[in-house]
């Protein structure tokens, strides 16, 4: 079994530089993976935080009773393979082949080893540099890296995929880019999540220009107690708490859900009530809930994750309903 690096062995300065490169929101023209130690350090820290986002997305997909429509899994820009490992864990036995793509050969090799260590016997093929669209396609945190011309090509290429699971940072820029892709992909795919409808995105309306589609993935309980994450917090100046993300899941064969609402962002707590931004087929609306809303008020106060509900409304007031994030 491969021993992971201790906090003292991690080059935190190099890790901060890598973080800053990703946050710069500028096209990356060169491979940035330079060594196995760097990949291991990233996988344990920033990569693990991305894993929390994937966990949240996969939990929501299970709540929606979604299952992969293809036994082939392709990861475009695999990095350390964190997305593939989370998907294989969430859907054991669902895939016959994993295809890894990355601009870095060392990253693909690292990802293959980690996948094989966690999921022995999984057939893995290393792809070429062209953009793939085979089976279920995973995309994770590429919007800050690809040049505009490559981003413009993506929806047309991805239209050939059986399904798409796409996770990005929860920034307004990434959300708007995902919405642009969504609007093109809904011509060929069913919109699975987070969208509770198949129509045009309500956030494109002028009155919603200040909002963006983002959500929060909870950190696992152990991260708040593990000394390693305390060291990470001090070195990286990042809190160990809910991590913001945007995402899009499409599927050529899925049947649309009906009657669902999906929260955007976090509920705003005001004395005696909560204010939430909610997306549903009819609109995107600011709704309020109080103790008179029934048991759904407790879930909203949490807030529960995934933030998927069936609301009973009287205009902009939630008068009842239930959380459906547990898949019931």
Give me the CATH number covering residue 285.
2.40.50
Inform me whether the pLDDT recorded for 115 exceeds 50: yes
Contact 74, 138 (CB under 8 A): yes
Mean pLDDT of 300-308: 84
Tell me, what's the pLDDT at 1?
Answer: 36
Same domain membership, residue 311 and residue 194: no
- Asked if residue 130 belongs to a domain, the reply is yes
- Asked if residue 239 belongs to a domain, the reply is yes
Positions of E strands within the chain:
72-76, 97-101, 124-126, 136-140, 163-169, 190-193, 215-217, 243-251, 261-270, 273-279, 284-289, 308-314, 317-323
Tell me, what's the pLDDT at 326?
Answer: 65
Cβ-Cβ contacts under 8 Å for 209 (sequence gap 6 or more):
none
User: What number of other Cβ atoms are within 10 A of residue 40's Cβ?
Assistant: 20
Mean pLDDT of 19-23: 87
Tell me, what's the pLDDT at 129?
Answer: 61
Q: Structural domain tally of the chain? A: 2
- Asked if residue 2 belongs to a domain, the reply is no
Same domain membership, residue 236 and residue 304: no
Secondary-structure breakdown of the chain: helix, strand, coil percentages, each rounded to the nearest 5: 35, 25, 40
Q: 96-114 pLDDT, tens per residue?
A: 999 999 989 999 999 999 9
Inform me whether the pLDDT recorded for 7 exceeds 60: yes
Q: 187-217 pLDDT, tens per residue?
A: 999 999 999 999 999 999 999 999 999 999 9
Same domain membership, residue 127 and residue 273: no
219 vs 24, residue with greater confidence: 219
Tell me, what's the pLDDT at 218?
Answer: 92
Any idea what the CATH number is for the domain that residue 224 is in?
3.40.50.150
CA dihedral 107, 76, 236, 3 (to 10 degrees): -40
- Asked if residue 165 belongs to a domain, the reply is yes
Same domain membership, residue 267 and residue 149: no
Q: 237-272 pLDDT, tens per residue?
A: 998 989 999 999 999 999 988 899 999 999 999 888
Collapsing DSSP states into helix, strand and coil, what is residue 277?
strand
Inform me whether the pLDDT recorded for 93 exceeds 90: yes
Q: 145-157 pLDDT, tens per residue?
A: 888 888 888 888 8
- Asked if residue 86 belongs to a domain, the reply is yes
Tell me, what's the pLDDT at 180?
Answer: 94
Same domain membership, residue 285 and residue 143: no
Inform me whether the pLDDT recorded for 3 exceeds 60: no
How far is 110 from 281, CA to CA, in rounded Å?
43
Mean pLDDT estimate for the chain? 91
Tell me whether residue 148 is exposed, middle or buried, using C-beta atoms within 10 angstroms of its C-beta: 0 to 12, 13 to 18, 19 or more.
exposed
Supply the pTM of this predicted model.
0.94
Tell me, what's the pLDDT at 4?
Answer: 62
Out of 3-12, 260-269, 318-327, pick the least confident: 3-12
Same domain membership, residue 211 and residue 269: no
- Name the band, by pLDDT with cuts 50, 70 and 90, for residue 171: very high
Same domain membership, residue 212 and residue 294: no
Tell me, what's the pLDDT at 220?
Answer: 92
Inform me whether the pLDDT recorded for 158 exceeds 70: yes
Tell me, what's the pLDDT at 154?
Answer: 87
How far is 28 from 18, CA to CA, in rounded Å?
11
Same domain membership, residue 55 and residue 24: yes
Residue where a domain terminates, one of 223, 251, 279: 251
Same domain membership, residue 283 and residue 218: no
- Residue ranges making up the domain that contains 109: 7-251
């Amino acid at each position: 079994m491969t021993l992971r690096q201790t906090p003292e062995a991690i080059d935190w300065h190099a890790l901060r530089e890598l973080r800053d490169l990703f946050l710069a929101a500028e096209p990356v023209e060169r491979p940035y993976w330079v060594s196995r130690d760097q990949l291991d350090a990233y996988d344990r820290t920033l990569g693990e935080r991305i894993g929390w986002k994937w966990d949240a997305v996969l939990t929501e997909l299970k709540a929606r009773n979604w299952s992969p429509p293809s036994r082939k899994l392709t990861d475009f820009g695999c990095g350390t393979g964190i997305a593939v490992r989370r998907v294989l864990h969430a859907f054991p036995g669902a895939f016959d082949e994993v295809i890894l793509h990355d601009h870095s050969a060392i990253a693909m090799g690292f990802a293959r080893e980690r996948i094989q260590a966690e999921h022995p016997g999984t057939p893995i093929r290393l792809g070429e540099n062209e953009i793939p669209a085979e089976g279920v396609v995973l995309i994770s945190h590429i919007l800050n890296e690809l040049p505009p011309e490559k981003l413009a090509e993506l929806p047309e290429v991805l239209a050939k995929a059986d399904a798409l699971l796409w996770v990005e940072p929860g920034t307004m820029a990434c959300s708007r880019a995902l919405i642009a892709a969504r609007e093109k992909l809904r011509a060929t795919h069913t919109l699975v999540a987070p969208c509770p409808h198949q129509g045009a995105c309500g956030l494109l309306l002028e009155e919603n220009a200040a909002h963006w589609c983002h959500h929060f993935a909870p950190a696992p309980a152990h991260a708040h107690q593990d000394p390693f994450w305390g060291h990470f917090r001090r070195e990286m100046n990042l809190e160990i708490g809910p991590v913001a993300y945007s995402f899009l899941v499409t599927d050529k064969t899925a049947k649309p859900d009906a009657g669902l609402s999906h929260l955007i962002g976090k509920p705003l707590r005001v004395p005696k009530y909560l204010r939430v931004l909610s997306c549903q087929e009819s609109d995107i609306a600011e709704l309020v809930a109080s103790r008179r809303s029934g048991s759904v008020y407790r879930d909203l106060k949490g807030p529960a994750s995934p933030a998927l509900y069936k609301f009973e409304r009287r205009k902009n007031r939630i008068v009842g309903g239930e959380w459906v994030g547990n898949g019931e």
